[in-house]
Every structure is written in structure tokens, then in C-alpha cells.
Amino acid sequence: MTTDDTVLIQPRGRGSYKVHEREQGPRSLATWARRGGLSSLVFALPILFVFGVFSWWPIVSSVVMSLQESNLVDAPTWVGLDNFRAVLTDPLLPTVIRNTAWFAILAMVFGYPIPLVGAVLMSELRRRKGFYSALAYLPVVVPPVVAVLLWKFFYDPRPEGVFNTVLGWVGLGPFAWLNDATWAMPSLVLEATWAAAGGTVIIYLAALISVPAELYDAAEVDGASVWRKVWHVTLPQLRGVLFITLILQIIGTAQVFLEPFLFTNGGPNHATETIMLRIYNLAFTNLGGNFGQATALSLLLAAFLAVMSLVYFRMTRNWSQT
Amino acid sequence: MRFHRTTTLAMAAVLSFGLLAACDSSDPEEPGASGDPTGAATDEAVTIRVAGLLPTADDAAKQQLDERVAAFEEQYPNITVEPEDYQWLNSTFTTALAGGTLPNVFEIPLTDGKTLIQQGQLADIDSYVKALPYGDDFNEKLLENGMDDSGTIFAVPAKSIYAVALHYNRNLFEQAGLDPDDPPTTWDEVRADAKKIHDETGIAGYATMALDASGGWQLAAGANSRGGVIEKNEGGKYIATLTDPAIKAHLQFLQDLKKDGSLLARADLGWGEINAAFGGGELAMYTSGSDVYNALVEGNGVTADWGYGLTAIPTEDGGGALAGGTLAAVTKDSTEAQKDAAVKWIDWWYLSKLQDKDQAIADASTRAGANPPQAVGTPVLPIFSEELYKENLEWIKDYINVPLENMTGYTDVMFEQDLVPEAAVATQDLYNALFPVVQAVITDDNADIDALLSTANEVGQTAIDAAS
């Protein structure tokens, strides 16, 4: 919040907390309860309970577990920062960071603009806008595991595979897709983009409705082409939404798990093993599980994303204000 | 709308306590009251969840299991058995173990018994197993895998003991002009036959598992057949030997097949996937446990007249066939009554048919009578003795429906061939270190085998040190 917010709030000032406290002094517990504090608290209890048990307690537990050696069956032993040292010296760490960054970059280059372009094109449609919106959203309602299995079928490396057959018509391929270390990651990004684009398209379409029509009218009067209207009107008006979807995309891609897990299990030869998959493998593919190291790496990832988000918000603070 | 304050409080309280009540879990089941392994626990009404069939099992296999469960519950009216789909996978097993969701009776690879016992993750079933009429007749070497250092039994050999063998599609051999009754006996012959099959039919001549630990397992089997090992014991210290020349030779063999164009170069083939690909006619040869025919019949559409062939894995330079098997174990949180019931089920489902003529015939007739019939008589290595195994085959000879005439390449040598046990320490970790190497070699023509093995060896040694 900025000083502008203060100005807005102050005139309602009967409600300023400090003024209120100065006028009436500290309230007694009974007064607080009588004035609805107790019922508010009791109403809040369910959500506090749910949030505490299912969100904060696991976070606290993982912080504790990152300092322990635990297989979740025997009593854990305290190991200090050993788990952090182990994951930071893990020979696979550079590989999985590189792979995650590669996925994020590919998703940024291909996955980020496509929904925007789609939404802008759809917003220009005069008829059947709803039909095309539903069509764009359809992949989102396909259960992710089903979608991956479907695409696995498409990525059949044999010449008679779906994609190889289609590409064969124009003299391309056959490609090994998921069985080629070079093509495996782009293949995952392609499916991930297909699966997620619909949701983002809907967000952009909703945001586009709020763009004042007179801005386009003015641009048209000035003789602006379609491209200049998009560049000078649409994008600036959407910048707040674009800013949020970008950070959500970065956080989402840094935590990508489903596609590499279901498509390739990190292969071939670790080519698609991401940080999240490494965390999973640390926890669940060693007999007895290495849960301490898995949670240590989880916390490092969370800390990195938190810091990156803060930096991002700071760097784009002015840009994001509409 | 505004509520009176008392009404508001009451509503909030109902919401809160209702939620709390919904989250409340009932008290855990009390352990068996008697604690007496052979006494009162026997008559106590008890329910056990047991590992059942593979998730891919067809209706006939499920019907056969249901019939065996019904017969068991008739024999032991106080026990209710709830079978669950079960397939041991490296990743899902650890998850289920940690999450406490394994069935009371579950299966593990022979080599994982010691580790799980050391970690205190298996129930002590010593007294129940020893109370079985054949409790002292187990092959001692096999039973050791389920015992701790003091000789207490935590798991028993069950299901089957196998040696890795070569499975092949006889029809594809015939289509390629090869004699299916004369399968390859050397790796060079495997390569030559694979190339001929691919050249003549367009279908991959050979494939190997490459996904997860199964990829490492089959690379180890290939290396063992060439006289190599993946781990050795030097003066009590275990050393990873993943740079063994035999491992490199087997990887080179795979790379050569790829260059020939005769390899199904897929990094996503695990144990189940390669069975499905074989059953679907996508490949002509692969190595896996000698008992895999059961799974092929159970879930991959293979029948006696499908054209299945089994022969011994080729060996050279003093190599042998990698042997392995399955242990049946009981979850640690099982009550005494459940442990008692669990061992009775292990006896009923896995073992008594190997010991008792009536049980053997009952099991075989149910399997053979299913529609379509389930495999009866698949060659495996004996859990008890060779004599008893052969006697067992005599008991059920009228029900044997596997094409034994197509399996002579294996059955002729199964008791004479040299067997190589799996690595003793950090076995799955070593397999996990090796499978990325397999993936690299079968997907990249320029894979640097030496560098890959060197990295894998470091990872493997780290795992061994941690496990030791």
C-alpha cells in the first residue's frame, strides 16, 4: 500500500484503530466478546483449524524433518544441517536445476504468449465466442493423468505413431520424442502448454472485457492498425494480469512434476529430471526413503521461489500498477 | 439478514465442533489381546488385507483368486480376506510403506528383506512360520533373506524363485526364417537373430528394460551372464563395481543392436511395459525372470498357443543367470491375530500348494479351470527342495497347461546352470544408479559408456556406504 491508500482510509477515520484506542482505551475481554469478537473467532475456527492442520502444520513438520534422518517408521534422529549439505553436494543437483530452468524457459517462450494470442484473437470474434472459449478450455477439464497417457500415445516413437505419421506426410521424422534426450523436454512442454493454456485464456478474456472500448475507438480514429491497437492498448491495459500470470507461471514451472514423472520418470538419462522429481526420488525411490534430504531440498526450493517472487514484485512494482 | 448473537455463537460452535468431529479418527484397533501366537488369537474374528493380483490381471485371474479366497474363508471362518491389486514397484512401494497403506500381507524382492528387517519395518512372524508343518523345510539359503542376524523369521520365500532367462516370440523367429526350436545360446547369436528378425519382419528383434530400477536389474543380469558383478565384498567392505568390463560389454551389445536397427530403443520400458510390448508383438526377445509367463498370461493376452518360447540366458566367461525371487511379509502394525491370519494366508495362497498334494491339485484345477485358463506349471526354482518340486509337478501334471515343449531351452538346464545372487547391499540403489546408463546407451548413439559408468559407480558407492 502507498500513501494514496492512507488518504483514502483516513477520512473514514472514525474507524482508525489508533484514534479508536485513544478515545476509548484498551477494551476488556468481555467488551470484545460482547461486540462480536467471540463469534468472529468461533466462525474463524474451522478455517483456522483446516489451514493449521493441512497447510501450516505440514510446513512446520517439513522444517523439522529437514533436520532429521527419518524413514517415517522408526523414530527420527537429529542430524543438524547434514541433509542440506547432502542435497547441495548431490551430483545430480546441477542437472535438475538446469532441466527445471530449461522447462521454465521453454514454457515461457512457447507457453506464455500462446494463451495471450489466443485470447486476443477470440476477443475479436463477433460470433461463437463462447464456443471457442469452451474449446480452448476443454483440455483443462481432461484429467491430467489421462491427458499425459493420451499424449504418450501420440508420442509413440515408431513410424506408425500418431505424430510421426502426421509429420511423415510432409516428409519429416520419424522422431524418437520422449526417447531422445534432446526432444524429451520440449515434448513435455508442448503437452503442458496444451493442458494449461485454456485456463489462462479464460483469465485473459475476462481481463479483456474490462478494457474500455473507447480506447480502441480512439486508436481506430487515429488510424492504428490491429497490431498497434494490441501493442498500445491491449497489452498496457492487461499488464496487471500479465504480471500475475507471469509470476504464477514461473512458480508453476519451477515446481513441475506431473509431466516428467508420468511421461519419462526423469529419463532418458536424467534429461527430464526436474527439482520436484528429484525431491520425489529422494523420498520415495530409496528403500526406506530419504525424507530428510527430500524436505531439505523442498525448503531450499521454497526459499528460492519466495526470494525470487519478492525481487520480481519489487522490480516490477511500478510496471504492475494500472 | 442478521442473526441474534446467541444464535450466531451456536451456529459457529456447531460448525467448528462438527468439523472437529469429522476430523476425529476412531481409536486404532487394539493389538491381539492374548499376544499368544498359537492360542486364543486363532479364533478371534479378524480381517486382513492381502496382496492380490497385478493391476493388469484379467477377469479369469480375478475369478480364480476369488475362489481361493472363498475356500480359505470356509476353512478359517473367523478370518476375512480382502485382496488388493499389488505390483511391487520401487517407487510406489516406498510410498506405501512410509504411508502405512501396504496390505497386511505384501510381497518384496528377495534382496530387500534384510534392509527392511534392519530398519524395523517388517513384523516378526517367526513363531507362526515355525508352527507350519513344513516350517523347517525351507531352502535355508533362501529363507536367510527373510531372517535377522539372530535367525528370527520376518518374511518367507513365496510366489516363485526365478533365474533371469531369455523370452522369445517363436512366430517371429519362424517369420524370419529362424528355427524357434534352436534359440540363441550366445549373445552374438542373439544379436544376429535380432538383426535377421528386424530385417525380415520390420519388428524389433530385441528390447531391454530401461525404466527405473528394472533397467538396472536387467543390465546387472546381462553383466552377470558375462562373468561380471555389480558389487563385491572386499574384506567385509562392500564395493560398487559398476565399471566392470562385463557391464561395459553388455552396454556395448545394446549399442550395437541399436546401430543394427534391431533394438526397440525405448527408455520407458519397465517390467510391466516390456511385458505389454512383448505380448503386443512389438519385439522378439527380451530377458526377465523365468516365471514371467504367468504375468504374460494374467494380463498380456498370451496363451499356450501364442508362440511363446523360453530359453536360458546366454552365458560366457564364467557367467551365470541372475537369480531372484519374492518374499511374503507382514506389516509391522498388524495385530497378533492378523499376523496369525496373515501366515495362514501365506500358507494357503503361496506355500501349501507346494507341499500338500490336495492343495496343489485344488490350486492347479482352479487356475486351469478359469476362463481363459491361468498358467499352471511355469518353470521356477524350488522354494523347498528339487525333489519336492518335481513331485509337485507330478501331482498337477493333468492340469499343466503351459507350453513346456517350448521351454526346454530353459528347463533342460535350470537345475544345472550357475546362478548368481543379487547384490547384497543397496541392491535397488545400484539398479537405480545403472538405469540412466541404459537409457543413455539405447537412446544416444554417441553415449560415452565409460564416463556414464564412472558416474554411476560413484552414485552406487555412495549408496552402499550409506546403507552400510
Asked whether the beta carbons of residue A285 and residue B13 sit closer than 8 angstroms, the reply is: no
Q: Is the predicted pLDDT of residue B26 greater than 80, yes or no?
A: no
Grid coordinates representing B442?
539405447
The verdict on B15 touching A (C-beta cutoff 8 Å) is: yes
Q: Which residues in chain A touch residue B115, judged by CB atoms under 8 angstroms apart?
A: 287-288
Of B12, B116, B439, the CB nearest to A42: B12
pTM passes above 0.80: no
pLDDT (0 to 100) of residue A288: 61
Q: CA A294, CA B424: separation in Å to the nearest integer?
A: 26
CA distance A322 to A240: 7
> What are the residues whose beta carbons fall under 8 Å from the beta carbon of A273, sequence distance 6 or more?
A92, A95, A96, A99, A260, A266, A267, A281
In angstroms, rounded to a whole number, what is the distance separating the alpha carbons of residues B297 and B412? 22
Q: Do B439 and A46 touch (CB under 8 A)?
A: no
Residue B305, burial from CB neighbour count under 10 angstroms (0-12, 13-18, 19+): exposed
Statement to judge: residues B179 and B305 lie in one domain: yes
pLDDT for A320: 56
What kind and span of H or E run contains B449? helix B449-467
Is A94 within 8 Å of chain B by CB?
no
* Least confident stretch, B307-311, B385-389, B436-440: B385-389
Instruction: Name chain A contacts of B435, Cβ cutoff 8 Å.
Output: 267
Neighbours of A258 (CB within 10 A): 18
Amino acid, res. A111: G
Asked if A39 and B9 come within 8 Å (Cβ–Cβ), the reply is yes
Report the chain A residue with the minimal C-alpha distance to residue B436: A269
Co-location of B246 and B113 in the same domain: no
- Say if A57 is an interface residue toward chain B (CB within 8 Å): no
Would you call A49 and B12 a contact, using CB atoms and an 8 Å cutoff? no
Mean pLDDT (chain B) is 87
Question: How does pLDDT run along chain A (322 residues), one tens digit per residue?
Answer: 333 433 333 444 344 444 444 455 566 888 888 888 888 889 999 999 999 999 999 999 999 999 998 877 778 899 999 999 999 998 889 999 999 999 999 999 888 888 888 888 888 777 888 888 888 889 999 999 999 999 999 999 888 889 999 999 999 978 999 999 999 999 999 999 999 889 889 988 888 888 898 998 999 899 988 888 888 998 898 888 888 888 888 888 999 999 999 999 998 999 999 999 999 988 887 766 789 999 999 999 999 999 998 998 888 777 655 4
Supply the CATH number for residue B127's domain.
Answer: 3.40.190.10
User: Distance between CA B308 and CA B167 in Å, rounded?
Assistant: 7
The full set of domain ranges for chain A reads: 14-65, 85-320
Residue B182 lies inside a defined structural domain of this protein: yes
Contacting B residues, span 196-225, partner chain A, CB-CB under 8 Å: 210-213
| Interchain CB distance below 8 Å, B265 and A270 | no
Q: Looking at per-residue confidence, does B228 or B115 come out higher?
A: B228
In a domain, residue B381? The reply is no
pLDDT value of position A1 = 38
Verify that B83 and B146 share a domain, yes or no: yes
Same domain as B429, residue B310: yes
Instruction: Give B463's contacts (C-beta < 8 A, 6+ positions apart).
Output: A286, B240, B426, B429, B430, B432, B433
Domain count across chain B: 2
In this model, does residue B291 exceed pLDDT 60?
yes
Q: Which of residues 218-247 of A touch B (CB under 8 A)?
A: none
- Tracing cell 526365478 back to the chain, one arrives at B162
Residue B296 has pLDDT above 80, yes or no: yes
My answer on whether B140 and B214 are in the same domain is no
Least confident of B17-26, B223-232, B270-279: B17-26
User: Does the pLDDT of residue B410 top 50, yes or no?
Assistant: yes
**Domain of residue B304, residue span:** 163-323+419-467
ipTM of the complex: 0.72
Secondary structure E strands in B305-447: 308-312, 321-330, 419-420
pLDDT at residue B147 greater than cutoff 60 = yes
List the one residue out of B154, B200, B145 whose CA is nearest residue B326. B145
Q: Are residues B297 and B309 in the same domain?
A: yes
Residue B201 carries which side chain, given as an amino acid letter?
A: T
Which stretches does DSSP call E strand in B185-307? 204-206, 231-234, 237-240, 283-289
Grid cell 500415445 is found at A153
pLDDT at B204: 96
The shortest C-alpha distance from B147 to chain A (Å) reads 18
Q: Which of A144, A97, A182, A98 is nearest to A263 (CA)?
A: A144
- A275-284 and B90-99 helices, crossing angle to 10°: 70
Q: Per residue in B132-154, is it b (16+ CB within 10 Å) or e — as a string?
A: bebbeebbeebbbbbbbeeeebb
* For range B1-24, the mean pLDDT: 43
Q: Any alpha helices (H) in B370-426, and if so which ranges?
A: 386-395, 408-411
Q: For residue B31, is pLDDT > 80?
A: no
**Cα dist. B76→A89, A130, B45, B105, B342 in Å?**
55, 63, 10, 17, 12
Q: Is B389 helix (H, G, I), strand (E, B) or coil?
A: helix
The answer to whether residues B47 and B193 belong to one domain is no
Q: Residue B429: its chain A contacts at CB < 8 A? A: 286-287
Residue B6 domain-assigned? Answer: no
Q: Which of B3, B254, B444 to mutate to test the interface with A (most CBs of A within 10 A)?
A: B444
Same domain, B317 and B183: yes
Q: What is the per-residue pLDDT for A34?
A: 84
How far is CA B3 from its chain centroid? 63
Whether A71 and B98 lie within 8 Å, measured CB to CB: yes
* Same-domain status, B297 and B168: yes
Residue B200 backbone phi and psi in degrees, to 5: -85, -30
CATH superfamily of A85-320: MetI-like (1.10.3720.10)
Burial (CB < 10 A; 0-12, 13-18, 19+), residue A12, is exposed
Partner residue facing A73 (CB), from B121, B210, B265: B121
Q: Are residues B438 and B346 in the same domain?
A: no
**Strands A68-69, B204-206: pairing kind:** unpaired
- Identify the pLDDT of residue A26: 61
B330 shares its domain with B430: no
Tens digits of residue pLDDT in B152-180? 999 999 987 899 999 999 999 999 999 99
From chain B, the residues in CB contact with A43 under 8 A are 8, 12, 15
With bands split at pLDDT 50, 70 and 90, how would you rate the model's confidence at B24? very low
State the nearest Cα–Cα gap between B376 and chain A, in angstroms: 33
Same domain, B220 and B88: no
Residues pairing with B327 in the sheet: B108, B157
Is B440 close to A181, i.e. CB distance below 8 A? Answer: yes
Strand-pair category, A68-69 with A77-78 = antiparallel
Collapsing DSSP to helix, strand or coil, B233 comes out as: strand
Residue B380 lies in a domain: no
